[in-house]
Structure 1
Amino acid sequence: MGFLNGLLGNASTISTDEVKNELGAVLIPGEDIDAAFKLIRDLLVFTNTRLILVDKQGITGKKIEYHTIPYKSISHFSVETAGRFDLDSELKIWISGADNPAINKQFGKNSSINDVQKLLAAAITRS
């Protein structure tokens, strides 16, 4: 069902050990992964210091963009949940000084958007 959820745009929880192996070269010493979510091929990774968005590009996914957002740079975020006829949820993240959201991610109706929202709220309020 994890593969089907990914195809439908549903964020699914992914093992922190699996993400640690994948992001070993990107993580700094002392940085721990709190939680990670997989959205098709992309990842949202919450560490103890930052949010890392992993965007796998191209047909093979060999080209990867790593977008780091320190929690202290996030001015606010919004979550729009899916409705009865609206099939997707949306996460928007604004960076300090920006008028438009720096990040805009779509999630499926039955996704982990509420878990993502809780983690993001906890992270930005502790920084």
Structure 2
Amino acid sequence: MIDFENKGFFKLKQNMEYADRVAELLMEGEQVIDSYKSMRDGVVFTNKRIIAVNVKGLTGSKRDFTSLPYKDIVAYSIETSGTFDIDSELQIYFSSLGKVQFEFTGRTAIVEISKHISRHAL
């Protein structure tokens, strides 16, 4: 499992590459909502969970996939982008895991992500 306390996700940018990488992990009826990529790592939001992908090793052939179900979310916080600071942030608190934080760069639909989390976590 990814050590979220010591793992610093680089700024994530919308990119569907990681949607393809997690395709074999999806359950029947599970659909990708959005996908984001940093330099090596990625995050995929589905209609059932968040899948964090940590690429390991020099060649990047080893990957760690962490499944974060919406049903385990107890609270979350978003920081939207501003006029000059176009980065946004998502902090999610899971019942047994604690805080998980993702930082996004560019024009990310953080409000839409927030609504999606609310629909499944509330």
TM-score norm. by structure 1 comes to: 0.67
Q: What's 1:71 paired with? A: 70
**Which is higher, the Rg of structure 1 or of structure 2?**
1
Unaligned runs of 5+ in 2: 1-9
Number of the residue aligned with 1:88: 87
- Partner secondary structure for residue 121 of structure 1: helix
Q: Which has the higher helix share?
A: 1
1-side partners of 2:73 and 2:121: how far apart? 7
Dislocated runs of 4+, deviation >6 Å: none
Q: How many residues align?
A: 112
Q: Distance in 2 between matches of 1:96 and 1:57?
A: 27
2:116 corresponds to: 119
C-alpha distance 11-120 of structure 1, shift in aligned 2 (>3 A): farther
Q: Which residues of 2 match residues 1-127 of structure 1 at below 5 A?
A: 9=11, 11-12=13-14, 14=16, 19=19, 21-28=20-27, 30-40=28-38, 41-96=40-95, 100-101=98-99, 103-125=100-122
Residue 3 of structure 1 corresponds to none
Percent sequence identity is: 29
Query: 1:117 is aligned with what amino acid?
Result: S
8 A contact 2:15–2:37 mirrored in 1:
no
Equivalent position amino acid for 1:114 in 2:
V
**Structure 2 contact 73–92 (Cα < 8 Å) conserved:** yes
Identify unmatched segments of 5+ residues in structure 1: 1-7
Q: CA RMSD in A?
A: 2.8
TM-score by length of structure 2 reads 0.69
